[in-house]
Amino acid sequence: MAEIPTAPLASYNLQDDESTEIIDHAEEITTDMKQCYSLSQTVKALALVDLFFAIMYAINNAYFFIPIIIIIVGYVGAKRYNLNYIGLYLIYTFIINVARIYFVFYIYYHLTPDKKSDDMFNFITSLMCTLIGIWLLHMIWKLHYLIRKLTSDELEFLQQLSNYSNYTVILW
């Protein structure tokens, strides 16, 4: 069973503007920093999935190019640990989920019984998308909370950290 290393930060590669070099830090990576890094990786992956579907929607409707911009801002926010960008993505995801819930149930409620049975697949698919959206909202909220909890030095270190392999994908 592998142990989780708690080596000083000096043993990890940090990116500098010019080149990759080892920067000496006396502190160690905290549990909150590990969790924030892991959540960042998870939110970036989910944002890419969200971006894929937004591009598919944008092919049919030009208004969906606006969500593409917001999703990219969310991805960059997760990558750079930017609280404002993550906050914008959080608000966007919340509004989209509220709208999905409203439209799914409003439209389904107003269908005739025959039409309800015909549109059951669409209803279930929309409901699944809403549940995934709520999951994404939860992950973004956790990342936003953790970024607010970390000190500026810890955030600066995370922004410079590269090739840190001791993280897990957080699913909830």
Q: Dump pLDDT digits (tens) for 54-103.
A: 898 889 888 889 999 999 999 999 999 999 999 999 999 999 999 988 88
Q: Looking at the domain assignment, is residue 142 inside a domain?
A: yes
SS3 state at 82 = coil
The pLDDT tens digits of the residues spanning 7-43 come to 444 445 455 454 444 444 435 788 899 899 889 999 9
Task: Determine the Cα–Cα distance for residues 83 and 94; give it in Å rounded to an integer.
Answer: 16
Task: Determine the Cα–Cα distance for residues 55 and 65; give it in Å rounded to an integer.
Answer: 7
Q: Looking at the domain assignment, is residue 19 inside a domain?
A: no
Question: Can you give the pTM of this predicted structure?
Answer: 0.75
Q: Looking at the domain assignment, is residue 153 inside a domain?
A: yes
Q: Looking at the 3D structure of the chain, how many domains does it have?
A: 1
Q: For the chain, how far is it from start to end, CA to CA, in angstroms?
A: 24
Which structural domain, as residue segments, surrounds residue 128? 29-160
